Amino acid sequence: MKVALAGFLHETNTFAPTPADISAFRDGGGYVPLTEGPAMVAAFDKVNLGMSGALSSAAGLGWDVVPILWAGAIPSARVTRDAFELIASQIVDGISAAGPLDGEFLDLHGAMVADHFDDGETEIARRVRAIVGPDVPIAAALDLHGNISQAFVDTVDVLVGFRTYPHVDMAATGAAAARLLDGIMRTGTRPFKAYRQMSYLVPIPFQSTDLAPADALYAGLETVEDEGALTASLFMGFPAADIPECGPTAIAYAKTQAIADHAANTIAAAYAAAEPDFDNVTYTAENAVARAKELAQCGGQGPVVIADTQDNPGAGGVSATTGLLRALITADAQDAAIGLIVDPTSAQQAHSMGLGAKARFRIGGHKGVPGDHPVEVVATVEYLSTGVLHATGPYYGGTRLNLGPSACLRIGGVRVVVTSGIAQMADREMFRFIGIVPEDQAILVVKSSTHFRADFSAIARDILVARAPGPMPFDPADLPFTRLRDGLRLSPNGPAFRAARANAARPDPGDPVAAVQYQSTDNQHGKQLC
């Protein structure tokens, strides 16, 4: 079977400050950088991504593989028109040049928004379908956070979503989608499909499949498959997307329409019933540090890990805000470390001064986040690095990262990982590469919402979720939505989106501050524990 493989991934936060241009895809930001043609085979060897699983399966299935192109960028604001058109056209041209195909595999995200397309995945699939024709099956591997549309489901023949968050099954998902594609190609039979939209959004940190009730919801996918579905997926949705298709969906495939409908209905009903159970604890920056200090003094081993969820670069954050750094310093925290703070200027200053130097630094801060500003402080340069590291934990799964010139700056008992490049802090090696042994710390602050759990849960004494000011509000209800489908609840048991809310959320075009006011979100929603 001759199969073309292509990937184009981006999770778009339409409220984020920085768009994804072509340089973001060439850099990768934690993904494999933009790669074309046969070079993809080596680039995806032993890496935890959907394309890796598909290529591995292709070898076992005996496919005649035609690698086209793969591009992925760290979550941010919309993909620029130029970047989208350049990458999409290269994919389409490559597929066209490949000649007659038996199948097409796509590694996508599911929540891409471009400057000129709300639904990036549907546009990619539409263009691919126009090239391969109606008879060539298309399969797609997708992120659990996809905002999946009916149009996208109608365009492809089968899709499979991740079942873990942290995403430790990305390669396994690509392999599963490849096996389904192989079955369609060999039998010539396309499965029946069922699609359901659900009624409420869930904050990103509590979508974790390590926590209730998401753990049971995803276990339920195996149940409907045992009852006859070929495959089933629950997409929790990426809530920071102001588009009509934002929100959770259930999708099932089966040999009959009745079985597909039953599976999708079962998943949707379980999601509806779980709404009251999405209730967890969050902290302000100050309370999180105070609680972490208390826990660190109790019996037991390992650090208390604090998730700086509102500056998670995996959801559109900038990995540079300073609310938790300031709280650590103010509380005189000891044996504490925070990372990553993306600050090329401070990193370069540290490299210029050299190891052991002590000077005043102006660390981090982002002017687009109300209430956030650089921390001006005297710090000691404790460690220097080129920023090249091998992230071997369960999430990155062997990805090689290049964070550029980096430094460990020590302020009393607090160590700060300062880098030139951006990537989500989801691997212990992202502390080790700069001389910090994470297991030996009392407190670790990570710029991540959930993916860090894959590698840090094994050593954590406890995990706290903090809401310091940042570009990605914890609660979707804090976002100024204007275009969602009417009636979608913005958080579990929370307010519903209505036209009146949309009109109130639209910023005054003459007020340059209004559009970013939502970013000041160090609020008191939810439970607060000292």
Chain segment 495-510, per-residue pLDDT in tens = 999 977 777 766 544 3
Q: How far apart are CA 51 and CA 221, in angstroms?
A: 23
pLDDT of 507: 59
pTM for the model: 0.91
pLDDT of 184: 98
| 232 and 5 Cβ atoms separated by less than 8 Å | no
Residue 62 sits at φ, ψ, to 5 deg, of 75, 25
pLDDT of 180: 98
Task: Report which of 140, 150, 73, 160 is spatially closest to residue 112, judged by C-alpha positions.
Answer: 73
| 120 and 84 Cβ atoms separated by less than 8 Å | yes
Residue 365: how many other CB atoms lie within 10 Å: 19
Please give the mean pLDDT across all residues of the chain.
Answer: 94
Parallel/antiparallel/unpaired status of strands 138-142 and 231-235: unpaired
- The beta strand positions in 37-185, using DSSP E, are 64-72, 103-108, 138-142, 158-161
- Give the model confidence (pLDDT) of 310-348 as tens digits: 999 999 999 999 999 999 999 999 999 999 999 999 999
In the chain, what are the domain boundaries? 1-189, 285-466, 476-519
Which segments of the chain have a pLDDT < 50? 508-530
pLDDT of 304: 98
Q: How far apart are CA 342 and CA 421, in angstroms?
A: 6
Residues sharing a CB contact under 8 Å with residue 507, sequence separation 6 or more, in sequence order: 480, 514, 515
Q: Which pair of tokens denotes residue 455? A: 């590698």
36 has which bridge partners?
Answer: 69
Task: Name the DSSP letter for residue 519.
Answer: G
Measured N-to-C along each axis, helices 214-226 and 257-273 cross at an angle, to the nearest 10 degrees, of: 160
474 has which bridge partners?
Answer: none
pLDDT of 368: 85
Element at 215 (helix H, strand E): helix 214-226
Identify the architecture of domain 1-189 in CATH: 3-Layer(aba) Sandwich (3.40)
